[in-house]
Chains A and B, each alone.
Chain A
Amino acid sequence: EAGVAQSPRYKIIEKRQSVAFWCNPISGHATLYWYQQILGQGPKLLIQFQNNGVVDDSQLPKDRFSAERLKGVDSTLKIQPAKLEDSAVYLCASSFPGRLIDEQFFGPGTRLTVL
Chain B
Amino acid sequence: GIQVEQSPPDLILQEGANSTLRCNFSDSVNNLQWFHQNPWGQLINLFYIPSGTKQNGRLSATTVATERYSLLYISSSQTTDSGVYFCGKSHSGGGADGLTFGKGTHLIIQP
Partner-B contacts on A (CB < 8 A): 31, 33, 35, 37, 40-45, 48, 50, 55-56, 89, 91, 97, 101-109, 111
How many residue pairs link A and B with beta carbons under 8 A? The number is 61
Report yes or no: A48 in contact with B98, Cβ–Cβ below 8 A.
Answer: yes
Interface size on B, residues (CB 8 A): 23
Residues on B facing A (Cβ under 8 Å): 4, 30-31, 33, 35, 40-43, 45, 48, 86, 88, 95-104
CB pair B96 A42 closer than 8 Å: no
Contact A104 B99 (CB under 8 A): yes
Question: Which B residue's beta carbon lies closest to that of A44?
Answer: B101
Assembled-state Cα–Cα distance A44/B88 (Å): 10
Other than the known A40-B103, A41-B103, A55-B95, what 18 A-B pairs have Cβ atoms closer than 8 Å? A33-B99, A42-B88, A43-B43, A43-B88, A43-B101, A44-B101, A45-B98, A45-B99, A45-B100, A89-B41, A101-B48, A103-B45, A104-B31, A106-B35, A106-B43, A107-B42, A109-B41, A111-B41
Pick from B4, B45, B98, B102: contact of A105, CB below 8 A.
Answer: B45
Q: Which residues of B contact A102 (CB under 8 A)?
A: 30-31, 97
